[in-house]
């Protein structure tokens, strides 16, 4: 249940960016980066970890270094994620990025951390579920391309992405999908820090918070530097001071709160699932993110007026993703 809630939050956290009026992408994304990558993670860690400095001091330098490197890859992936979604839309961007992230982030810990025999019934169900999920994501991506073609033909549709930007957006999303699994790999290979936190009196449900706080620092640097560059180059820094934009700060903060909440709940749920949790949990979270993001995309009007063919294709992809989650879930038994 915690992992299901985490998937809902992760599929929802980017929705507020659509309603940040009079701000450019870099304004909202910087606000999210500050709240989601620095503010909330370290606040939660300070409130829930009794001896936070001791946890870092007693964690090996090797684990700390690898955690930073995984976080750096995750940060670059997250930056490309935000840019890619801005080009191709919420639904399609999530489908491509999460598809690759689900496959890589599920199979690598499955092979290297939990050491599940892929020839066993359990391993077969998990791998089959990931393959089925990828097929569903391909259908979602195909539907997104059909949507883009229809909207591009309608010059009066203000939210249609420019055709010249679709290829760039697609490339950004693919690169993001390759790098974003670094977040889960950092979690999977950071078990030492979770163990140290528990040893120093941290409750089991909060043992992963120091790890998330450290993992999130490189993403903040990557995203923050790029956003500041855009703010200066495009001269959009003053948009923070525009009248009537106070609600935008709350929207950006809500993005950070939902993102971190999803990560913490995922970490807690994965720990409860045992050694295989970082594989099983990741696959379920990623699939649910696509489902929720596409439902929000529908409600936000991204698919209005695109025709029945694209909608049928998207519906089929979502149904297959639901089936894939059940298949992966059966691998727990």
Total count of domains within the chain? 1
- pLDDT per position as a tens digit, 256-269: 999 999 988 998 88
Mean pLDDT for 272-297 is 81
Range of the domain at 162: 2-330
- In whole angstroms, give the CA distance from residue 102 to residue 282: 7
- pLDDT per position as a tens digit, 7-60: 999 889 988 988 888 999 899 999 999 999 999 999 999 999 999 999 999 999
CB proximity list for 276: less than 8 A, separation 6 or greater: 110, 114, 116, 331, 332
Q: Tell me how crowded residue 1 is: count the other CB atoms within 10 A of its CB.
A: 8
- Helices 61-88/90-112 angle, 10° precision: 150
DSSP string of 282-294?
A: HHHHHHHHHHHHH
Average pLDDT, the chain: 85
pLDDT exceeds cutoff 70 at 115: no
Q: Is residue 22 exposed (0-12), middle (13-18) or buried (19+ Cβ within 10 Å)?
A: exposed
- In whole angstroms, give the CA distance from residue 133 to residue 106: 12
Closest CA to 305 of 125, 157, 114, 112: 157
Do 2 and 269 form a contact (C-beta atoms < 8 A)? yes
Question: Quick one: pLDDT band at residue 91, thresholds 50, 70, 90?
Answer: low
Do 176 and 81 form a contact (C-beta atoms < 8 A)? yes
């Amino acid at each position: 249940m915690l992992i299901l809630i985490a998937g809902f939050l992760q599929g929802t956290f980017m929705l507020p960016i659509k309603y940040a009026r009079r701000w450019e992408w870099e304004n909202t994304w910087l606000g999210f980066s500050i709240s989601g990558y620095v503010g909330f993670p370290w606040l939660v860690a300070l409130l829930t970890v009794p001896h936070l400095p001791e946890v870092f001091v007693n964690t090996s330098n090797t684990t700390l270094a690898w955690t930073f490197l995984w976080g750096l890859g995750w940060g670059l992936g997250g930056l490309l994620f935000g840019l890619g979604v801005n080009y191709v839309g919420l639904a399609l961007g999530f489908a491509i990025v999460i598809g690759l992230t689900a496959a890589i982030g599920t199979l690598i810990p499955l092979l290297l951390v939990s050491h599940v025999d892929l020839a066993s019934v359990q391993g077969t169900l998990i791998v089959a579920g990931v393959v089925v999920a990828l097929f569903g994501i391909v259908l979602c991506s195909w539907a997104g391309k059909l949507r883009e073609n229809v909207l591009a033909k309608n010059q009066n549709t203000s939210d249609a992405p420019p055709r010249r930007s679709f290829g760039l957006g697609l490339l950004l999303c693919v690169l993001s999908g390759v790098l974003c699994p670094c977040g889960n790999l950092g979690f999977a290979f950071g078990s030492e820090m979770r163990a140290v936190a528990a040893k120093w009196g941290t409750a089991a449900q909060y043992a992963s918070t120091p790890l998330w706080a450290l993992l999130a620092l490189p993403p903040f640097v990557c995203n923050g530097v790029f956003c500041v560059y855009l703010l200066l180059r495009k001269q959009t820094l003053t948009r923070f001071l525009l009248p009537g934009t106070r609600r935008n700060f709350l929207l950006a903060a809500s993005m950070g709160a939902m993102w971190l909440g999803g990560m913490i709940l995922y970490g807690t749920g994965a720990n409860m699932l045992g050694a295989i949790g970082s594989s099983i949990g990741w696959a379920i979270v990623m699939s649910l993110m696509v489902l929720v993001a596409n439902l929000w995309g529908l409600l936000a009007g991204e698919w209005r007026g695109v025709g029945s063919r694209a909608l049928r294709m998207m519906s089929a992809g979502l149904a297959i993703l639901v089936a894939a989650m059940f298949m992966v879930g059966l691998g727990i038994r």
